[in-house]
Amino acid sequence: MLQSTEASSRSVGIELRDIVKRFGSVAAVDGVSLDVRPGEFLALLGPSGSGKTTILMAIAGFEYPDAGSILVGGEDVTWVPPNKRNLGMVFQKYTLFPHMSVLENIAFPLKMRGVGRAEREDRARAALATVRLDAYGDRKPSQLSGGQQQRVAIARAIVYKPRVLLMDEPLSALDKNLREEMQIETKHLQREIGVTVVFVTHDQTEALTMADRVAVLDQGKLQQVGSPQDLYETPRTPFVAGFIGETNFCAGTVRDAGASGGPVTVVLDGGALVAATAVDPVAAGGRVRLAVRPERLAVVAADGAALTARVNEAIYAGNATTLILEGPNGLPFRVRLPAGSQHAAPALGDQVGLRWSAEDARAFGDAP
Ligand SMILES: Nc1ncnc2c1ncn2[C@@H]1O[C@H](COP(=O)(O)OP(=O)(O)O)[C@@H](O)[C@H]1O
Ligand SMILES: [Mg+2]
């Protein structure tokens, strides 16, 4: 059995220092620096083509960076070949050997490392128990479901007690229910054995569900690293605000500015005067883009409201109703009303007021 104390005392951190990787004229990874803490579950999150797999391949040693260095457990492994790094890998396709039994599949990396037959079998059985497939050792991979095969792939990746487990979209081939189940299960397993995990996904819900911290990438650049709550509550770039959860964006001009991180007042294009919190340094007269979450918008009476909008659509989804509204200059807004709120949803065509607290509107200094 893999003992958690043993594994966690062995778990190591990873440091990426200013990694650059180009393919021709494309900078797949463009100056990424990142610390993964020992025993941490870190998700690399970003849209397709943002450089996630390239970063993982550089950590694994299958790609060498053009610039920068990679440390695992404090040791510079930038030029160390993959088989000398002692890292486990799980990919989207389970890549189990079809002609081998489940147990033989799991024991295979030990065989490659010259471990004797009896010990191989013991350790493979222990790994199989860790992923709760004790009874399936003699089956062929084709006799298992997709989720079971993925668990075997994980067992095979942890059987030699790697210092780090690297996972590249390992659940994306599974259907929704199984996938959600495996998200929780994989997270529990990681806690149990205490191994450091870097998990690549393009699915924000998956990243928020599984990870201690999430590193958000766009076009090869690191946008922000933080806990799921940090990213949702205090996005540092418009990209993060838009990529994690839902956000209303609207542009305007600063009227009164304080310090960065402080309150500002903004005249939205269309004339409404609203309050916000500056993320970037902004000055009076400067252009800003505001980001406000749909659940942080309050619907109030139109009379006396600075910002008014017309209700164009109400989408009922059981636990909440989403209103789609049209503000000044056709500016779209989405408002989320939780089920059971005391106020009835306004009727279609109603003109209503919209209000938010200054701390719920983040002002970015990048508006056109
Ligand atoms: N071997 C390669 N040859 C050429 N271009 C590549 C190669 N691998 C990745 N790229 C390019 O690098 C960028 C990042 O790719 P990748 O790391 O696979 O992104 P992600 O995993 O986030 O989808 C993309 O533009 C991709 O086309
Ligand atoms: Mg990828």
Span 183-242, pLDDT tens digits: 998 999 899 889 999 999 999 999 999 999 999 999 999 999 999 999 999 999 999 999
> Whose C-alpha lies nearest to ligand 1, atom 3?
23
| Cβ neighbours, 10 Å, residue 184 | 11
pTM of the full predicted structure?
0.91
In the chain, ranges of CATH 2.40.50.140 domains? 246-364
When pLDDT is averaged across residues 24-38 and rounded to a whole number, the result is: 97
Cα–ligand 2 centroid distance for 208 (angstroms): 18
In the chain, ranges of CATH 3.40.50.300 domains? 4-238
pLDDT tens for each residue of 296-324:
999 999 999 999 999 999 999 888 999 99
- Does the CB atom of residue 57 touch ligand 1 within 6 A? no
Which one of 16, 22, 26 would you pick to mutate in the ligand 1 pocket, going by the greatest count of ligand atoms within 8 A of its CB?
A: 26
- Residue 146 binned pLDDT confidence (cut-offs 50, 70, 90): confident
Calpha distance 255→263 (Å, rounded)? 11
Has residue 7 got a pLDDT over 50? no
pLDDT (0 to 100) of residue 25: 93
- Residue 342 binned pLDDT confidence (cut-offs 50, 70, 90): low
pLDDT (0 to 100) of residue 2: 45
**How many percent of the chain have pLDDT more than 70?**
96
HEC string of 193-207 equals: HCCEEEEEECCHHHH
pLDDT tens for each residue of 85-142:
999 999 887 689 999 999 999 999 999 999 999 999 999 999 999 888 999 999 999 9
CA angle 116, 122, 125 (to 5 degrees): 130
Has residue 9 got a pLDDT over 60? no
Calpha distance 65→18 (Å, rounded)? 10
- Does the CB atom of residue 224 touch ligand 1 within 6 A? no
Helical (H) or strand (E) element with 20: strand 14-23
When pLDDT is averaged across residues 271-280 and rounded to a whole number, the result is: 94
Cα–ligand 1 centroid distance for 119 (angstroms): 40
Cα–ligand 2 centroid distance for 49 (angstroms): 7
pLDDT (0 to 100) of residue 173: 83
- Does the CB atom of residue 51 touch ligand 1 within 6 A? yes
The CATH class for the domain spanning 4-238 reads alpha beta
Calpha distance 31→45 (Å, rounded)? 16
Calpha distance 368→238 (Å, rounded)? 13
Sequence-ordered list of residues with C-beta below 8 angstroms from that of 233, at least 6 positions apart, any chain: none
Cα–ligand 2 centroid distance for 14 (angstroms): 20
Read off the tokens for 10.
């062995």
When pLDDT is averaged across residues 148-152 and rounded to a whole number, the result is: 91
pLDDT (0 to 100) of residue 180: 92
Q: Does domain 246-364 have CATH number 2.40.50.140?
A: yes
